[in-house]
Amino acid sequence: MNARVYTIVNQKGGVGKTTTAINLGAYLGQYGQRVLIIDLDSQANATSCLGIDKRTIRTGTYEVLIGAAPIASNILRNQRYHLSLLPSSPALAGAEVELINTPNRNTRLAEVIEPVLDRYDYILIDCPPSLSLLTVNGLVAAKDGVLIPVQCEYLALEGLTQLTQTLDRVRNALSPNLKIRGVILTMYDGRTKLAQDVVTEVNRFFPNKVFRTIIPRSVRLAECPSYGQPISIYAPESAAARGYNGLAQEILEQDGVPIPAPQT
């Protein structure tokens, strides 16, 4: 069976895209799923969050996208974190310029991941915080839908109309089966009325699309990237760890995947 491919997208920065890619991926891995994270951002935050110095990357997402290297031989495996990663580097910023005049510029990512679809159960694509050519590639590759993190803070809904319009355009022009897999509420502080109001508004904006699991605001979650570890390793007893564990279970249940005892 081919991997489920989910693209994590929101053009706003700081909403938890990379955090979600790393920590959701780590918990899916703990439940025995073969997980590949694709770092599609030239800032290479997903790469850094897994303890890899982006300055040392010789071949990664950029080289794979422009056809200079095959994807399979450039995937890094971390056995401890139960994850595989196609790393990024600042060179990826040049991909948009190099791809702009190619006929398959919007479908390039979907094409290059095709050879490894049968090697994984889940592929999570971490997009840049913009509605760029790279993001369009991520959306076209998202054969099983997009995951949209939304922070429970002021102006949380700002830009969501633009994002949904972009999804509509990509759906109409390039990927007729593109769908919203689910909306993930992040950075929730239950002590504030604002956070509770945002939850209500997001559910109204995306009826029947919001995951039950809400990711709390957490100092531990903010700390773990500096240690190059997912929250499942850095602070497994924290509220944020319970949140991403619960999100992984919810996704597995919705996908009809049996949930075994977690691996250590």
Tens-digit pLDDT profile for residues 15-38: 999 999 999 999 999 999 999 999
Place of tokens 């599609």: 40
- Sites in the chain below the pLDDT cut of 50: none
Closest CA to 124 of 255, 17, 14, 219: 17
Closest CA to 229 of 59, 48, 18, 17: 48
Per-residue pLDDT at 97: 86
Per-residue pLDDT at 14: 86
Compute the half-sphere exposure of residue 21: CA atoms within 13 Å on the CB side of its CA: 34
Per-residue pLDDT at 153: 86
Per-residue pLDDT at 4: 98
Assign 146 to helix, strand or coil: strand
Compute the half-sphere exposure of residue 9: CA atoms within 13 Å on the CB side of its CA: 30
Per-residue pLDDT at 206: 93
Per-residue pLDDT at 213: 97
Per-residue pLDDT at 262: 81
What are the residues whose beta carbons fall under 8 Å from the beta carbon of 61, sequence distance 6 or more?
38, 39, 40, 86, 87, 88, 89, 92, 95
What percentage of the chain reaches a pLDDT higher than 90? 77
Read off the tokens for 86: 């196609």
CB atoms within 10 A of CB 247: 25
Closest CA to 4 of 229, 104, 69, 24: 24
| Angle subtended at Cα 234 by Cα 230 and Cα 240, rounded to the nearest 5 degrees | 70
Per-residue pLDDT at 215: 97
Read off the tokens for 141: 């590759």
In the chain, where the domains are located: 4-254
Which DSSP symbol is given to 144?
T
Per-residue pLDDT at 103: 86
Per-residue pLDDT at 221: 94
Per-residue pLDDT at 177: 94
Query: Radius of gyration (Cα) for the chain, nearest Å?
Result: 17
Per-residue pLDDT at 157: 80
Cα 205 to Cα 162: distance, rounded to the nearest angstrom:
13
Q: Helices (H), strands (E): how many in the chain?
A: 11, 8
May I ask the CATH architecture of the domain 4-254?
3-Layer(aba) Sandwich (3.40)
Per-residue pLDDT at 199: 94
